[in-house]
Each structure stands twice: as C-alpha cells, then as structure tokens.
Structure 1
C-alpha cells in the first residue's frame, strides 16, 4: 500500500498564502466492501488466530474503514494497535501502527504529536532494518514539513525515502515521491517541471497496470492546468480523478476533485455550479474531519462571495476558515482569512473592524522579519549588560585590594613607618591607576555599544519616532492626510527561485534593494519594509512635506531606470536580474508602532491596499499611478503622462490609471 498527495488549489492564486496539501491513503486497484471490513474486524477479535495476524487485520481495518469514515475512532484504534503490538513484541507491526497513528494525527491537524509518533516509528524501523516501514514514515514526515512550507526539511525526508524505495525496487513508493517533487515545483510556479514529475508517476502506475493509483496525479495535473487557465484540460483531469475515487469510495479524493471542478466552473462564469461543487467538497471534508481541506474549500467559497460583494456571507465563511487554520497552525490560511475579512468589512464601511483584520494580516506576514529584529536587539542588550556587570566587578576588586592594604598597615605598625607609607602609597597609586584604566576602558565599551544600539534603532525606525521611543518608552500612532505609497514587485521571481540557488537569488535581491535604499534616502522618502521580493516606501511621513508626492514619483522613476539598466547589463553578460512593476497611490494613512516588543514602524489604511493594486495592475518597466496621484502632480513640468483608461483592480473595480515618465 502506498501514499499519494493531492495539491489542493484555492480559488485565488494572487494572495500570499502557503499552498495547502491534502494527503490520503489510496487503494491499489481493489474496492473494500463492508463485508471485507467486517471480516477484518472479526479476524482482529478472534483470539484463536496468531497475534500477528490479528494485528495486521486491525491495521487494514483502520486504514480502509475508520480512517475515512470516523477519524476519532481511527485514533483510538491506532493507539490500541500500538499497545497490542508492543505487548506481543511484534516490531514491524509496531512500526506500521506508529506510522498509521502519526498519519491519523496529521490528518486531524495535530502536527507535533504526529511527528512524535513518526520519530518513534522511524527509530524502531532503522533498529530492526525494516526498510519499507522506514521509507513510508520518511515520506509522511516530509508531508508535514511540506504542508508547513519548510521545503528544505521536506526534501531531506523525501530524498531519504526515495533512496530506500529505489534500493528495494518499490515502484509505488517511487511514484509517490515523484508526486511530491511535482507538487514542490507546482508551488513555485514551475508548471513544466511539475507536469514532468506527475507524468513520471503516472507512467510507473501504467507499467504496473494500476490505473486506480493515478487519481492523485490526475488531480494535481488538473491543478496545473487550472493555474495556467487551460480550463478544458483541467476539467478533463479532475473528471478522470473523480471517476477513480468514486470507484474506490475515497472521500478525500472525491472532495479534492469536486473542489477543482468547482473552481473551473467559476472561472468559466458558472457561479451557481461552482458553489454547488465547493459546498459538496466542504460537506465531505467535514464528514471525515479533514480540517485542511475544509479551510481550503471555505476560502474558495469566500472568494466567490467577495467578488459578488456578498460581504455578510464572506464574513461567515472566512471566520470559520480562520478558526480551522488556527487549529492546524496554518499561517498562510490565517493570512488569507484576515485579508478576506479586511476586504469584507471595508466593503461594509466598517473601517475599525477592517483595520483590525488588516493589522492581523500584516502581523503574520511580518512575523519572521520581526523575530529576527527582536533577536538582534536582545543580543545587543545582553552585550551591554555584560559590560556593565564587568565594570561593577572591577570596582569591587579595587575596593577589596584597598581594604587589604589597610589591614596590612595595621599588622605592620612596628615596621619602618616611612618605608611602609611609601609602599602603601605605591600600592594605592597602582590600584587607582588600574581602576581608572578599567573604568575608562569599560565606559568606552559601553559608549560604543550604546552608539551601535542607537544606530540599529535608527536603521529600523525614523529618527523622530526613535527619539520619541527613547524619551517616552512608546511612540503614539498618528494620522497623516497625504502620503504617497510606493510598491515594487519583481516579475518572474517565483520561476527564478526554482532555478537558482538561495545564495544567488538573495544576492541579487539584496543588490537591488540596496540601490533602492540609496534612492529613497536621496529623495527623502521613508522605506517601510520588504516582503519577499516586494519593496514598500512612503513619501510624506513621519514629517509631512509639500513636495512628497513629486519626490516619491522621482524616486520611483529612478528605481525603474536602475532596474532597466541593470537588466541590459546582465543580459549582455549572461547574468540574471529581474524586470519590475511599480505602483503609487496617495491618500490618508495611520502610521506608528504597535505593541512594546518586536516593534516596527508601519502604516495602515485603504491607501496602502490601493497602492498595492496600482503595482499589481501595472506594467513591467513603467511607473503606474492612480487618478488621485495624477491630479496632484499633473501640472508639474518635470513629468509627462499616458492615460491608461479604466483598469480592473481586485476589490476596487474599474479605476483610472496613468503611466508617468520624466521629460
């Protein structure tokens, strides 16, 4: 028996969300009837049979019965099986039981406990040289890391598993690994590589004459064609998968196929049929306690209602998806849910609630970056404290030496007073000199560390905000009426990330962002943050300026000029860089620092969201500005403008946009 993976696609691919992977056991060409399940249960309860036979019967009973229909019962039975196999010293049976227990826990979203079970099972499998058991556990451990976007650890487990499968000639296992590699490439936008691996897995099953095992690959191929907007091909593969899964009565597979078909129908303009299929998927997922699938289907339905401006329905569905995403620790699902809640409350005109969810979305998006900043600050504080402690110790040592000399003087009263006095004076002079030298050195170290701390603070926060933070211990949020927000984004970043090493990719991004930092400094605009390959800056904060809009546009034009020139240079030397989109919108924002730990200067408001839409609706090599920004700068003789007409922007409808260039 093997493992396969469905890569479940949400309705919108534009949001920054970790891919959701639904994993399931599949049958190798046979349909398990209720009579067969009853026979397995009977064999387990028949104490006249050998204990190992009874254990194997219970394992199959859980796999093919309770796992799909009653997950809670499956966990109880898996625990019972673990205890039984340990009691009868059936080691391979214990490995299989721990494997199954971990998988049941994984499907219910309990990742930590699943990893504990897998770790115990893998250790025993390696101890008794049970190769197939070790390979299966490594594969499923990879699922957990894969599902949490830790691709490095996922690949480590997949590669170890593949090595064992190849060693023992397990074609089914090799096909399962190919499916995982395909999903990794799909998650990074490399459709060609994803299809290649999916088709390799299908070829193996055809060689084994096992068409029933291909349902997961068919769904995943359907997802690829859905992503490339080849809807007829996507529907063809979803229907192939559905036919197989209905024969196998595999509820996980059926739900995944129906969901994919529903999204195809929506993209073809059939909203009613799309919602029907997604609701059927959700109903199945809930019946088998599939929290991951439920989260995905709820968000897909939420997207449809959001596009229809049915905001009350969006709020109902998205709050449910948010609750499930929190249960399984899915940060991507939480971010996606918070964004939809923000859009819905904004659509209803409830700005306070909208801002709350927007802040939650940004907090999750920036959590890793904030954590790194906090660690650096903590290290600096520790260093500063260590220096202070060292200075205190120096003073204590000097005082001790002085007291000792006084005691020596009292004991040696009969000695020559002149010699003793001279000796004491010399010792005191030396002691004071040592104390003075240590104090001066320690104070210099403290001053150096203080300067380093202040420089780091100024690198994180604007000078005015940093000064307020030092004086008061906090910095109040402020309203600004006119701020120009600039967003950039690199075209083809996802594809390049799949082709290049991390060092090459990060090196090029860092080179470009350093140049952007210097440009921002030149034009007096404030860098806010970077999010992946996106760069965000703002003109007119924290100090309002009459020419902030003009300066922001000048900075944007220079950024585009820099990227165009760098692309030309790299192209002539067979190097690589990116082409870039850039968008600007101007309006009111709230700016400040939230909380007292892991702080970061940030801005909030609908202006930020609109600026992001200007970027995503822009064109490579151009600076795209909103109608309102155009009205503010249209009379500036430095600029020339091209009206683009009304462009559809997500969540905004059709809005006027302009390309701006420098004369």
Structure 2
C-alpha cells in the first residue's frame, strides 16, 4: 500500500503565545504541586476577569491567559466558547488590540479542531483590524497561523507566502519566538518534499532558539516533527526517541492534541516494525484522545493507520471497518489525500475478501480523487496567471491616464505662452517631457508585451485542458455546448500489475515512470491528430474523430494505439537491460457514437459520454498484454486496409456487455 507514515503522523504546528509571561528559575515540583499551582493561577485569572472594577484591557488579558493556560489544550470546545465571550467583550468595548487577540485565539482553536473555514474567517477579520491599528505582533501571528491552514491542506505555495510575510515582521520586531515558529514550518515543508538534511536543519534551528529563550516546553512540536522525519527515513530508533521526548512535554502541558500526535507517531513506528500489538495500543490511545477533543482530521489519519495495521495482519473485515470511518471523516474536512488513501485501503480490503464489485467502486473513486488533485493544481496555476495579468493591466491603465493628463497640460501651456524666452523654456520642458513620455511609452510597450506573454501562457494552459476548438468557443461565448458525434474511436490503456508495483516502488519512482509513459502517449496522440481526453490513475483515454470529425479518425486511432504498444515494448526492453522497472500494458479500441462537452463551470474538463465509452473500456479490460484489442465495429471499418493483419478472438464475455466479437490487430 501507499506509504502512510507522513499521512498518519502529521506535521505538528507550534503554538505561538500572544503574550509573553515571566518565568521563575526552574525548580523540581511534584505533579500534584504542578496541578495545584496551575489551578491557583487559573482561579486568580478568572477573579480578575469577573472584576468589573478592573480596566477593560486587564480583564481581557486575564481571560485570554485563563483560556490559554486552562481549557485551550485539554477542552477546546470550552475554550472556543470562552474565546467567543472574549471577542464579544473586546468588540463591545472598542478594545481593538484585545479583539485581534481574541480572533487569533478563536481561529487557532478552530484550526486545531479541523474547522478550517471558521479559522480562516477569524484570521481574516483579525488581520484587517491588526493592520489598521499597526499591531505588528498580532499581524505576524495571524499570518503565521493562516499559513498553517494552507500548509495543512497541502497548498504549500500559499502557505509559504504567509510564512514569508510573517517572518519579515518577526525579524523586524526582533521576535525570536516567532522566527523559531517559522523555522519549524520550513522544516515541515522540506520534510514533505523528502529533503532530510534541510528539514532537520530547520527543526534544530527552531529548537536552538527556544533553548536560547530557556523555553524547553516549546520544543515538543519540533521533537514530534523530527520523529516523523526519522520515521520517513526508516530510522526507527531515532524516531522513537524524538516522539517520546515530544510526548513527555505534551503530557506536562496536558496538550491533548500534541499527545495524540506523539502517540500516533510511536504507533506508526511499531507498525513499520510489524510489532502489531504495541502499534495498536498506541494508535488506539491516540484515537481516544483525538475523538475526545473532536479532532476530526487527526482521528481520520489514525483510523487509516489502524486500517493499514489490520490489512497487514490479513484481518480485512476490520481494515474495511476502520478505513470506512477514516473515509467519512476525510470527506468531512475535505482532505483529498486522506480520501484517496482510504479508497485504496478499501479497494485492497474488498479485493482480498473476494468482493470484486465493491473493490472496483473504491478503485474508481480513488483514481477520480487522484485526477481531481491534478486538476486542482492546474486550476491554481491558471488563477495565478490571470491574477498577475489583471495586476499588469491595472498598472498599464494608470500609466496611460497619467500620460493623457500630462499631454493635455502641455498643450494648454503651449497655447497660452507666446513669449520667445518662455518658448525656449517650454522647448526645454517639452524636450524633458518627451524624454519622460518616451520612457513611459517604452514602459507601456514593455507592459503590453508582458501582458501578451502572460495571455499566451494562460491560453497555452487552457489548451492543455481543452481542445483548441472548444477553448475558442468558450472564450467567445463564455460556454461550450455539448455535441453529438456519430463516429468516434475511443482508445483506453491500462498498466498491468500497477497496484503490485505501487507496493514495491517509491511514490517518486512510480509517478516518474507513469509520467514518462504518458508524455510519450501525448506526443503520439499529437502526431496522429487524436484528442487526449484524460488520465485516470494509471489509465489513459484518448479519442479520434472529435471535436472535428475526420475521415481518417479510425485509421489514425489504430495507428496511435499500435505505436503506444510498440513504445511500451521498447521501454520494457530498455528497463530490463538497466535493471529498472516499467509496466506491461493492455489497450482496447471501440468505435461508435458519443456525446462530448465540458463538465462543470469551475475546474472544467472536456469529457465524453455514452455506451461507446463503456464498451471501449471493456475492450481494454478484456484485452491482452502487448496487444491492441478492437471491437467488431472497429474491425468492420478498417478490415480492408492492407496495412493491418487481424486475428479473430471469437466471442469474449465482457462485463455488463455479454459476449462481444473481438479482434487483435497488428501492423504488417
């Protein structure tokens, strides 16, 4: 199965306190004394909050401290209720700085419990106020925590934007605690990218800052993250060491979310070592804590780890039970990565117990989610280009307005002033203005060139998603109508043994090989003038005869199919000589009527529908490795072509279609 280590352990974010408290010299106190000291502190803070004689700022700070030192870690639901109360108080008393702190706290509690929408809303309101009153620390903290949300949803580009803005302010106000928090996030980004050395370097820098501030308690997140880093690199001894160090601190803080993350990490170490008894103990303890504080995303990840454990043990019914729960929670928080993995777990579980129908349902859902992730990445790039283009346009319009005003002014001056000496002066001015206008004209021309370049980039991206004719119709009309096509040849490919290969190879190697093959298929489609429709996991779909019908579409589709199989055959020989790996492939073609058009209004995609598509899929699944399998309908259209040799396979049973005449085709 897919590597679950990073998914289940997660990356733990650092809590950045909004107020800095004085610390006594370290002294040894018993756990019971610690509880008593904390309770005394909380009681004192709550008394101050309830004392209406105290200044508003003092009361607000006392309630904030009470929330942060009390229910924040152990009872997030209660903490959120109190944070709402703090917000209402500061807002009602026009205490802007306190309102920023309340919104920051509300957002962070919502984030830690997986409510990203509510967290973002709080952060946006808080950021607007903090920038208005020039509250730099509040601004930096909110920017950092907004980055957490994008980071947690794997949108690293936007996360980095917020981290960099936050880091700049922290450095400006010399806030080392904030700088250390940013370093921790940079480490997490490099961790996900697989750059062990850079990730560890940033984590250790963050730890060094906290040690310099004599704040060892702040290092729990870094220790857990380093544990995850070593786990990803299969250094289980080091991973356990750091997870346990992090757990010890989280227990002292009574931070339930942190404890759940550390316990999950330890459980996954034992899972990788196939020590299933220990692994299950730790994972179940982690799940119990996560569920107690309503940590939906954390619970989803742990459920998937437990499902993975049961799969390894061959207890497929239990694996299905836990992965179904994990899928439901992943859908609740919109975690596409968790959904994809859940579907893979369910596919393997149902396949193992012989329930092929259910296995196929989850396999199809898995590849649709994977395709959705790729489409989303493309859409983000398009949005970024469109935004950049609009900024350039706005700048250009302003420059042209400035030039128009200056030119009118020049004309008025020339009309009124006839004095010779003044005319000479005007001549000098005009000369200087001409230089200025020439400079501006060059700037305008350069800006237009940049806009044109960005427009071309945007259109090229659009053409990577849609056929040229459909893209043109979409640009002209704002929509593209679905059309009927009477004769379209549908080509499907599928790699044999992909699931088995995915268990043996690293994700990078697996995706790299698929990408290498699909790029070759793209060039072949372009060569023969057939339209790539989409990829679905390890499957590739193309069609000849649309969006512009062609007399040679059937012939060109068959030629493309044969060349794709020929390419894979050569690729297998290359890999055998270099001890590498690639895939064997089945390929099927069927010809008939389809409906084609654009799906949706956002993140759209050109797609085709109809029974022809389903039959073409059966041609592929009923085919043979290294062969091009075609239907009787396709055969009838090219059987007279002397360039091909055909082998009749007889009637083959195809799922949902009954028995269908099929043929293998070869090029002579």
Q: Shorter-normalised TM-score: what interval?
A: 0.5 to 0.7
Deviation at 1:305, TM superposition (A): 0.9
Q: Is residue 496–residue 586 contact of structure 2 (8 Å, CA) maintained in 1?
A: yes
Which region of structure 1 is more displaced relative to structure 2, 65-74 or 365-374?
Answer: 365-374
Which residue of 276, 280, 298 maps to 1:275? 280
Aligned CA distance change for structure 1 residues 103 and 590 (closer, same or farther; 3 Å): farther
Deviation at 1:288, TM superposition (A): 1.3
Aligned CA distance change for structure 1 residues 370 and 470 (closer, same or farther; 3 Å): farther
Aligned CA distance change for structure 1 residues 174 and 54 (closer, same or farther; 3 Å): same
Deviation at 1:94, TM superposition (A): 0.8
Residue 256 (structure 2) pairs with residue 266 (structure 1): no
Distance 2:115 2:261 in 1: 21
Q: Is residue 20–residue 292 contact of structure 1 (8 Å, CA) maintained in 2?
A: no
Alignment of 1:57-456 (within 5 A): 57-367=62-372
Aligned residue for 2:114, secondary structure, equals coil
1:422-442 CA distances to partner (integer Å, 9 max, x unpaired)?
A: xxxxxxxxxxxxxxxxxxxxx
Q: Is residue 355–residue 604 contact of structure 1 (8 Å, CA) maintained in 2?
A: no
Which region of structure 1 is more displaced relative to structure 2, 286-295 or 342-351?
Answer: 342-351
Deviation at 1:486, TM superposition (A): 9.3
1:89-116 CA distances to partner (integer Å, 9 max, x unpaired)?
A: 2221111001011112222322222112
Aligned residue for 2:294, secondary structure, equals coil
Cα RMSD over matched residues?
A: 5.0
Gaps of 5+ in 1: 1-10, 376-451, 459-468, 498-504, 568-578, 612-627, 633-663
Deviation at 1:87, TM superposition (A): 1.7
1:339-380 CA distances to partner (integer Å, 9 max, x unpaired)?
A: 2122222222222222222222222222255579999xxxxx
Deviation at 1:559, TM superposition (A): 4.9
Aligned residue for 1:129, secondary structure, equals coil
Indicate the residue corresponding to 1:582 in structure 2.
582
Distance 2:2 2:518 in 1: 28
Query: Paired residues, what number?
Result: 493
Q: Is residue 22–residue 292 contact of structure 1 (8 Å, CA) maintained in 2?
A: no
Distance 1:143 1:21 in 2: 10
Distance 1:582 1:299 in 2: 29
Distance 1:113 1:121 in 2: 12
1:402-431 CA distances to partner (integer Å, 9 max, x unpaired)?
A: xxxxxxxxxxxxxxxxxxxxxxxxxxxxxx
Q: Is residue 191–residue 224 contact of structure 1 (8 Å, CA) maintained in 2?
A: yes
Q: Is residue 77–residue 293 contact of structure 2 (8 Å, CA) maintained in 1?
A: no
Deviation at 1:241, TM superposition (A): 1.1
Distance 2:508 2:157 in 1: 16
Q: Is residue 483–residue 541 contact of structure 1 (8 Å, CA) maintained in 2?
A: no
Aligned CA distance change for structure 1 residues 564 and 123 (closer, same or farther; 3 Å): farther
Deviation at 1:518, TM superposition (A): 3.1
Distance 1:475 1:540 in 2: 7
Aligned CA distance change for structure 1 residues 548 and 314 (closer, same or farther; 3 Å): farther
Q: Is residue 291–residue 324 contact of structure 1 (8 Å, CA) maintained in 2?
A: yes
* More relative contact order, 1 or 2 (CA 8 Å, 6+ apart): 1
TM-score between both structures, scaled by the size of structure 2:
0.62
Aligned CA distance change for structure 1 residues 163 and 595 (closer, same or farther; 3 Å): same
Which region of structure 1 is more displaced relative to structure 2, 591-600 or 262-271?
Answer: 591-600
Indicate the residue corresponding to 1:640 in structure 2.
none
Deviation at 1:204, TM superposition (A): 0.9
Distance 1:477 1:522 in 2: 17
1:482-515 CA distances to partner (integer Å, 9 max, x unpaired)?
A: 97659799x99969x9xxxxxxx9xx99998654
Aligned residue for 1:25, secondary structure, equals coil
1:134-160 CA distances to partner (integer Å, 9 max, x unpaired)?
A: 111000000011111111111111011
Which residue of 542, 556, 563 maps to 2:568? 556
Aligned CA distance change for structure 1 residues 528 and 470 (closer, same or farther; 3 Å): closer
Which region of structure 1 is more displaced relative to structure 2, 76-85 or 63-72?
Answer: 63-72
Deviation at 1:315, TM superposition (A): 1.9
Distance 1:55 1:588 in 2: 69
Q: Is residue 495–residue 539 contact of structure 2 (8 Å, CA) maintained in 1?
A: no
Deviation at 1:79, TM superposition (A): 1.2
Distance 1:595 1:299 in 2: 37
Q: Is residue 265–residue 273 contact of structure 1 (8 Å, CA) maintained in 2?
A: yes
Distance 2:117 2:105 in 1: 15
Deviation at 1:25, TM superposition (A): 3.1
Distance 2:590 2:341 in 1: 22
Aligned CA distance change for structure 1 residues 564 and 354 (closer, same or farther; 3 Å): closer
Alignment of 1:461-472 (within 5 A): 470-471=483-484
Indicate the residue corresponding to 1:56 in structure 2.
61
Distance 1:136 1:39 in 2: 27
Aligned CA distance change for structure 1 residues 337 and 493 (closer, same or farther; 3 Å): closer
Aligned CA distance change for structure 1 residues 325 and 265 (closer, same or farther; 3 Å): same
Deviation at 1:199, TM superposition (A): 0.8
TM-score between both structures, scaled by the size of structure 1:
0.63
Aligned CA distance change for structure 1 residues 51 and 141 (closer, same or farther; 3 Å): same
Aligned residue for 2:584, secondary structure, equals strand
Indicate the residue corresponding to 1:661 in structure 2.
none
Gaps of 5+ in 2: 25-33, 381-464, 472-481, 546-553, 600-604, 629-668
Aligned residue for 2:314, secondary structure, equals coil
Q: Is residue 105–residue 114 contact of structure 1 (8 Å, CA) maintained in 2?
A: yes
Aligned CA distance change for structure 1 residues 136 and 546 (closer, same or farther; 3 Å): closer
Q: Is residue 17–residue 335 contact of structure 1 (8 Å, CA) maintained in 2?
A: no
Deviation at 1:584, TM superposition (A): 1.8
Deviation at 1:208, TM superposition (A): 1.8
Distance 1:310 1:93 in 2: 53
Distance 2:128 2:539 in 1: 47
Which residue of 1, 13, 27 maps to 2:3? 13
Indicate the residue corresponding to 1:35 in structure 2.
40
